[in-house]
Chains A and B, each alone.
Chain A
Amino acid sequence: MKNKNQSLMQPLQDFYQQYQLEFKYGLIAGIMVLFVGVIGMLESFQNREVIRDFMTLAQILLLGPAFVTGVLIVRRKSENNDALISKLTSALVIGLLTALPTLILVFLNAQVFEDLRSIFVNVNRNWVEVVTFDNDSLLIGSGLVALAMAGLSLSGGIIASLPRKISRAILMALTFTITIGVFGQTVGLILNQLLPEDVLDAIFRRDVLLQEPAMILFGLSLVGAFIWSYGSEPINQQYQAMPKQNQSIVRLIGLGLFSALLLALPFIVGRALSDTAVTIGLFVLMGLGLNIAIGLAGLLDLGYVTNYAVGAYLMAALTSRGPLGLSSEITAWLNSFMPITFGEQFINFWLVLPIAILAAMLTGFLFALPVLKMRGDYLAIATLGFGEIIGKLVISDWFSPVIGGAQGIQFIPKPEFFGTTLSNPEQLYYVVLAACILTLYVSVRLNNSRTGRQWMAVREDEDVAAAMGIDVPRAKLLAFTLSAATGGLAGAIFAAKVGSVFPNSFTVFVSINVLSLIIVGGIGSNPGVFIGALVLIGMPELLREFSDYRFLIYGALLIFMMVNRPEGLWPSKIRQREIRTDLETDPTLKAKQSTSA
């Protein structure tokens, strides 16, 4: 009996053995496509056109995975020097497999279940429209989708089997063009400041890239990518061959250009994007601060929002002109015994800013005291607990006479700077920029200081650090206190920017936001914070459709980064070195890397 069974299963098993990799890749991509459909991403991106009358964001999400897996499988197979035809067959098989799970659900939805929508809210007519290319017949539509996926996977495979430099150039140009299309609104807003209206209209119509400009853009970027892939190496060699002095001059010029760009940003991008830039800047501030605790000292602080809330509420309570504001009381009290009389505007943004920072530092210090002796994971949960306690207290009746409960505090005046009120985002941008640069400077100096090295020692091993004569509790306290400072700074600026504070702005999500941007950028890396904030805060602000799925994407990114790239997008040099030496000295790690790659 057993033998017979085995002989029956044998061909199937052989088939599976032969195409194991294809099955794996195809089904993963297929489940991804199914997933983005069922959670409603396809539906909400349906009306977002990337290239006018040619491609929507939903179609990119639907068909993109097939293309990418096509590229990946052929690259993987090229390592084994497989024949071209076998590589392309794999790509084709994968394309079809990618379509399979979604099409099964389309069939089930139409034939078997009467009302799947009452449970899975996004398995609805719009979804069916997207996954069948809006075809009247489900059969023809799903056939077309399967064909399109197979075709795209195949073309991905063909591109990947071209010589390395050419395929890279094509992929780069493709990514670039699609990125411009996806961020059409943003690009349009920027170009609006630079180009005359009629030129802009020829490229974008209602924020959507037109077809011909898209082709021209693709062509241009292809040329650029070719030049890059053939020219970057010689240039790099030339740079390396230069004397050290000239290298630093080149670097200085680069830095100068970058700072000029940063300074001129509000004029280039206009009001709406300046507002986004301010938000990004606030998160950069918090990221730089939290990076001291997480990146340098290895203290996973999940209650960082506390510092942000302290800064914001202090700014609000002290400067507000509303019923809850204390400014007139404090001025009156001061005037009652001081020899000079303070005016109405005595308590302003600039006076409260340092107070807010100090208050946040005090909070950080106080909350750090009880948790100093905890080990890493308990510390994370305890700080999360602190954050939640503060969140609940802020909204409770107990404190509402002081900070307004759910109504919050309103009428916070904008900062004034030598007579001008900094009321619009373009002006506030410079406040945030100055704060960021100052914080960056402090953080870089700390990184290279004795204290910074102490933190790193504590991060790596507390016991050894203590044995080396480092006062571990002191180092930790300092890390918490300093990291809290920028949280308070960001909160204070936030309060002045928005003009009112509500408990809803200070939930655990802020902490998670900051944590995610640090992880994505690279733990302990300062440039990483900028990259992370740009990607994680900037993207959902620019792509409104994404903001519904913001935390879904953050979660997926956290998992993905921890599993595949724990050092982040822009790793700090020390981390990079650590990971590399680990690989060199530890053979098991190296073996793991090579199997997983």
Chain B
Amino acid sequence: MKLRIFGDNFSLVDFIINVLRVVIIVLVIVGVSNTIMSGRFTVAQYINLFVAGLAQGSIYALIALGYTLVYGILLMINFAHGEVFMAGAFTAVFLAQAMDRSGFLDSAPIIAIPLLILFAGVISATVAVLLERIAYRPLRDSPRLVPLITAIGASFFLQYTFRGFYGSGFKSYPTVDALQGNFTFGEINIPIVQVFVFGIALVLMAGLYLLVEKTKIGKAMRAVSEDKEVARLMGINVDFIILVTFAIGGFLAGAAGVVNGLFRPQGVNFFMGFIPGIKAFTAAVLGGIGNVPGAMLGGLFLGVIEALGPNLVLAGLGVPGANQLKDVIAFTMLVLVLIFRPQGILGERLSETKA
């Protein structure tokens, strides 16, 4: 829609987007300065929120890696990835409860937690692999929206499948004694579990980095994401590499499921993957989809913004019940990133022709 008022190339759409940009920046600045001026929170409280945000963000980052790996190779949004996360988290809750009942979880958490992560990871990886094999592989050469619609279908199919398996009630993870309590630095109390969650996420991400950069499979994955045809000519089994990619993404999502359970024990049910899935997608886009370090960074960034946003910006603007609007912050973030910087912070790792 061109308006020929301000010379030749003035487009109404660009104008409105720019107005939106200015309005949002002004709102954020006003909100933040209001909150800080009012002195509602102490520095210690800000630090606490920040650390909690980092812990939550590292969970988003783990899920986001699955989106990014798949997108890097197939250029498709695996909308059902949130449900892959749910599959691991929901299944492992039974193992965790059994471990808790037998006392194993509290007596040897150093073995029990990795076992849980491994179990959930394998379950999620299996679901992801089945998903690729049954739903996505037949559609590999279809127009872009076809796999997306399939993925939406798969997402609801998986939700209600697991609802059928384990029932619709809420389950919760047992609390681990070793992870209770705080690290205290003066006025600042940092829960041990948050540090632990962050640590596990870092270890897994380091593992992924080594896998992608240092092993033969990782090399093959990178080759396939560059060019499937050439990779095939080089003797790489492309279908297998795609399966492996889904499996790795699934494993990380399953691991995130257990880590999430340690961090927030309540609320495990069949619908638990939907919202984190969209948020993790936001994180992936935020970092630049297809870009592995970007997904990690994007996850942490989103976690922090989500933790600080409601209290810092919305409360400053005088919005009542700001803490209910955490999800609104995350989804607004999603929409804003897609509007203003779809290539993300670190840039999409895609060539022009692909995008």
Which A residues are closer than 8 A to B by beta carbons?
Answer: 35, 38-41, 118-122, 298, 300, 302, 369-378, 380-382, 384-386, 388-389, 392-393, 396-398, 471, 473-474, 477, 508, 512, 515-516, 519, 549, 551-552, 554-559, 562-563, 566, 596
Q: What 0/1 pattern do residues 117 to 152 of B give for CB contact below 8 A with A?
A: 000000000000000001100110010111111101
Residue of A nearest to B159 (CB): A551
Complex: how many Å from CA A374 to CA B16? 15
Q: What 0/1 pattern do residues 143 to 187 of B give for CB contact below 8 A with A?
A: 011111110111111111101111100000000000000000000
Inter-subunit contact B77/A555 (CB<8 Å): no
* Interfacial residues of chain B within 271-294, with CB under 8 A of chain A in the complex: 274-275, 278, 281, 285
With A377-B77, A512-B156, A555-B156: A382-B335 Cβ-Cβ less than 8 Å: yes
Inter-subunit contact B161/A39 (CB<8 Å): yes
Name 11 A/B residue pairs within 8 A (Cβ), A-sorted: A40-B164, A380-B77, A382-B335, A389-B331, A392-B325, A392-B331, A473-B11, A551-B157, A552-B157, A552-B160, A562-B146
Does B206 belong to the interface (CB within 8 Å)?
no
Inter-subunit contact B17/A370 (CB<8 Å): yes
Inter-subunit contact B153/A558 (CB<8 Å): yes
Q: Which residues of B contact A35 (CB under 8 A)?
A: 161
Complex: how many Å from CA A370 to CA B146? 24
Inter-subunit contact B145/A377 (CB<8 Å): yes
Q: Which residues of A contact B135 (CB under 8 A)?
A: 559, 563
Complex: how many Å from CA A222 to CA B310? 67
With A119-B94, A554-B153, A555-B153: A380-B145 Cβ-Cβ less than 8 Å: yes
Contacting chain A: which of B34-42, B215-223, B246-254, B316-324? B316-324
Inter-subunit contact B166/A389 (CB<8 Å): no
Inter-subunit contact A378/B338 (CB<8 Å): yes
Does B334 belong to the interface (CB within 8 Å)?
yes
Complex: how many Å from CA A180 to CA B174? 50
| Nearest 9 interchain pairs by C-beta | A39-B164, A558-B153, A555-B157, A397-B321, A552-B160, A555-B156, A121-B167, A562-B150, A385-B331
Inter-subunit contact B324/A396 (CB<8 Å): yes
Q: How many A-B residue pairs have CB under 8 A?
A: 165
Inter-subunit contact B164/A473 (CB<8 Å): no
Q: Which residues of A contact B321 (CB under 8 A)?
A: 396-398
Inter-subunit contact B325/A396 (CB<8 Å): yes
Does B45 belong to the interface (CB within 8 Å)?
no
* Interfacial residues of chain B within 53-110, with CB under 8 A of chain A in the complex: 76-77, 94
Q: Which residues of A contact B160 (CB under 8 A)?
A: 39, 549, 551-552, 555
CB B335 to nearest CB in A, in angstroms, measures: 5
Q: Which residues of A contact B142 (CB under 8 A)?
A: 562, 566
Inter-subunit contact B156/A370 (CB<8 Å): no
CB A503 to nearest CB in B, in angstroms, measures: 12
Does B1 belong to the interface (CB within 8 Å)?
yes
Size bin of chain B's contact surface: 35 or more
Complex: how many Å from CA A551 to CA B331? 24
Q: Which residues of A contact B76 (CB under 8 A)?
A: 377
Complex: how many Å from CA A397 to CA B167? 31
Inter-subunit contact A398/B156 (CB<8 Å): no
Inter-subunit contact B145/A398 (CB<8 Å): no
CB A459 to nearest CB in B, in angstroms, measures: 10
Residue of A nearest to B318 (CB): A398
Other-chain residue from A381, A516, A556 in contact with B338 (beta carbon distance below 8 A): A381
Inter-subunit contact B339/A377 (CB<8 Å): no
Inter-subunit contact A370/B339 (CB<8 Å): yes
* 5 new A-B contacts at CB < 8 Å, known A121-B165, A471-B2, A515-B149: A121-B167, A377-B144, A397-B321, A516-B153, A559-B153
Inter-subunit contact B335/A385 (CB<8 Å): yes
Q: Which residues of B contact A380 (CB under 8 A)?
A: 77, 145, 148
Complex: how many Å from CA A118 to CA B94? 9
Residue of B nearest to A383 (CB): B335
Does B347 belong to the interface (CB within 8 Å)?
no
Inter-subunit contact A559/B338 (CB<8 Å): no
Main SS of chain A's interface residues? helix
CB A535 to nearest CB in B, in angstroms, measures: 15
* Interfacial residues of chain B within 331-352, with CB under 8 A of chain A in the complex: 331-332, 334-335, 338-339, 342
Does B13 belong to the interface (CB within 8 Å)?
yes
Complex: how many Å from CA A381 to CA B328? 15
Other-chain residue from B324, B327, B339, B355 in contact with A382 (beta carbon distance below 8 A): B339
With A388-B331, A563-B139: A515-B17 Cβ-Cβ less than 8 Å: no
With A398-B321, A474-B1, A562-B139: A556-B327 Cβ-Cβ less than 8 Å: no
Q: Which residues of A contact B342 (CB under 8 A)?
A: 374, 378
Complex: how many Å from CA A271 to CA B148? 40
Inter-subunit contact B165/A38 (CB<8 Å): yes
Does B192 belong to the interface (CB within 8 Å)?
no
Inter-subunit contact A477/B325 (CB<8 Å): no
Inter-subunit contact B164/A41 (CB<8 Å): yes
Q: Which residues of B contact A562 (CB under 8 A)?
A: 139, 142, 146-147, 149-150, 153
With A300-B149, A396-B321: A551-B338 Cβ-Cβ less than 8 Å: no
Q: Which residues of A contact B146 (CB under 8 A)?
A: 562, 566
Q: Which residues of B contact A549 (CB under 8 A)?
A: 160, 164
Inter-subunit contact B17/A397 (CB<8 Å): no
Q: Which residues of A contact B139 (CB under 8 A)?
A: 562-563
Does B20 belong to the interface (CB within 8 Å)?
yes
CB B136 to nearest CB in A, in angstroms, measures: 9
CB B243 to nearest CB in A, in angstroms, measures: 18
Complex: how many Å from CA A67 to CA B63? 42
Residue of A nearest to B138 (CB): A563
Inter-subunit contact A556/B278 (CB<8 Å): no
Inter-subunit contact B154/A376 (CB<8 Å): no
CB B233 to nearest CB in A, in angstroms, measures: 18
Inter-subunit contact B325/A398 (CB<8 Å): yes
With A370-B16, A376-B144: A389-B153 Cβ-Cβ less than 8 Å: no
Inter-subunit contact A374/B328 (CB<8 Å): no
Q: Which residues of B contact A373 (CB under 8 A)?
A: 13
CB A554 to nearest CB in B, in angstroms, measures: 6
Q: Which residues of A contact B324 (CB under 8 A)?
A: 392, 396-397
Complex: how many Å from CA A377 to CA B134? 21
Residue of B nearest to A566 (CB): B146
Complex: how many Å from CA A100 to CA B65? 39
Residue of A nearest to B338 (CB): A382
* Interfacial residues of chain B within 1-58, with CB under 8 A of chain A in the complex: 1-2, 11, 13, 16-17, 20
CB B161 to nearest CB in A, in angstroms, measures: 6
CB B16 to nearest CB in A, in angstroms, measures: 5
CB A102 to nearest CB in B, in angstroms, measures: 15
Inter-subunit contact A551/B148 (CB<8 Å): no
Q: Which residues of B contact A474 (CB under 8 A)?
A: 1
Complex: how many Å from CA A40 to CA B270? 15
Q: Which residues of A contact B163 (CB under 8 A)?
A: 39
Inter-subunit contact B325/A551 (CB<8 Å): no
Q: Which residues of B contact A516 (CB under 8 A)?
A: 153
CB B137 to nearest CB in A, in angstroms, measures: 9
Complex: how many Å from CA A556 to CA B153? 6
